[in-house]
């Protein structure tokens, strides 16, 4: 897929999201529209579009998958900001802070509902895909509950990774998984899920390295605090080494998938490599 083709499909994704979320007039529609227009890299949409193209799916199905995945992700951001009391999102006040907690809950719920409406347009396997989405969203919710329950009290690196995998992995894996289901390539679901989960853990660890002080002040779950509680002498170095290991495992797993399927995730791994002090991958 060329950059121009990707840009054209992303425009269609934005249009479908806008139609589904803001079809009815009112203040909530305006708030949701502002949320999406404020930015965001649309990583999950890009993953879905490029994976769908690699698997030969129609543009209509690709756009439906990309829109559904992006709506689910943004719903999780709105609700997560509220639960974590994060006050900023995309260099602006978070929705709950700008408009109130009740509006943020309603907006997130609207995005969730719109996601299923988008996926209903994903062709003859839409029902199977929607069922799969439910299972993956339930996994995310379970991870979020564990995060909220344990917070800074977690002192086991394995438990930390399980929570990080559950919170972030499913919605990163979903674009790949839905494209595989639409293409009838279900035997590859396990490998796609493993690749996305490893990427999610590496990314979360890198993020935790930057947020260690803030999370400690807020009592939030953070890998550095977990490793310190475990008695690791240099927890930051240990977290970095663990992130490197997960990133390298991701790259190996992604290389085993069909050509182009995980292109967007692999591209996202490049800046993580640099942030972790690794050399860029060579072809």
Q: What digits encode the pLDDT tens for the residues 16-45?
A: 999 998 766 678 888 988 899 888 889 999
Look at residues 142, 168, 161 and name the one whose alpha carbon lies nearest to residue 44: 168
132 located within any domain: no
Instruction: Give the pair of three-digit tokens for residue 266.
Output: 């692999």
Whether the per-residue pLDDT at 59 is higher than 50: the answer is yes
Instruction: Report the percent of the chain where pLDDT is more than 70.
Output: 97
Same domain, 74 and 195: no
Is 45 within the bounds of a domain?
yes
pLDDT band at 260 (very low <50, low <70, confident <90, very high): confident
116 and 190: one domain? no
pTM of the model: 0.91
Same domain, yes or no: 245 and 165: yes
Three-state secondary structure call for residue 92:
strand
Q: Are residues 209 and 264 in the same domain?
A: yes
Range of the domain at 176: 140-283
* Phi (first) and psi of residue 94, to 5 degrees: -60, 155
| CA–CA gap between residue 57 and residue 52 (Å, rounded) | 5
Question: Do residue 264 and residue 185 come from a single domain?
Answer: yes
Q: Is the pLDDT of residue 283 over 50?
A: no
The answer to the question of residue 61 being in a domain is: yes
């Amino acid at each position: 897929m060329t950059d121009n083709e990707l840009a054209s499909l992303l425009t269609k994704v934005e249009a479908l999201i806008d139609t589904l979320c803001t079809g009815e007039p009112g203040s909530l529609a305006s708030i949701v529209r502002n949320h999406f227009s404020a930015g965001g890299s649309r990583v999950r949409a890009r993953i879905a579009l490029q994976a769908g193209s690699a698997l030969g799916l129609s543009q209509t199905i690709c756009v439906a998958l990309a829109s559904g995945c992006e709506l689910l992700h943004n719903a999780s951001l709105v609700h997560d900001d509220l639960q974590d009391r994060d006050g900023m999102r995309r260099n602006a006040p978070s929705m709950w802070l700008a408009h109130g907690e009740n509006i943020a809950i309603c907006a997130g719920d609207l995005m969730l509902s719109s996601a299923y409406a988008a996926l209903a347009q994903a062709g003859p396997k839409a029902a199977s895909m929607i069922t799969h989405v439910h299972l993956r969203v339930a996994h995310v919710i379970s991870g979020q509950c564990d995060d909220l329950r344990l917070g800074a009290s977690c002192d086991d690196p394995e438990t930390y990774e399980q929570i990080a995998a559950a919170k972030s992995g499913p919605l990163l894996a979903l674009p790949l998984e839905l494209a595989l289901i639409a293409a009838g390539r279900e035997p590859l679901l396990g490998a796609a899920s493993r690749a996305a989960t490893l990427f999610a853990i590496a990314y979360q660890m890198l993020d935790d390295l930057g947020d260690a002080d803030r999370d400690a002040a807020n009592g939030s779950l953070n890998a550095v605090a977990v490793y310190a509680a475990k008695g690791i002498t240099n927890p930051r170095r240990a977290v970095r080494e663990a992130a490197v290991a997960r990133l390298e495992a991701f790259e190996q797993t992604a290389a085993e998938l069909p050509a182009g399927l995980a292109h967007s995730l692999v591209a996202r791994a490049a800046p993580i490599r640099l942030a972790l002090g690794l050399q860029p991958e060579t072809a």
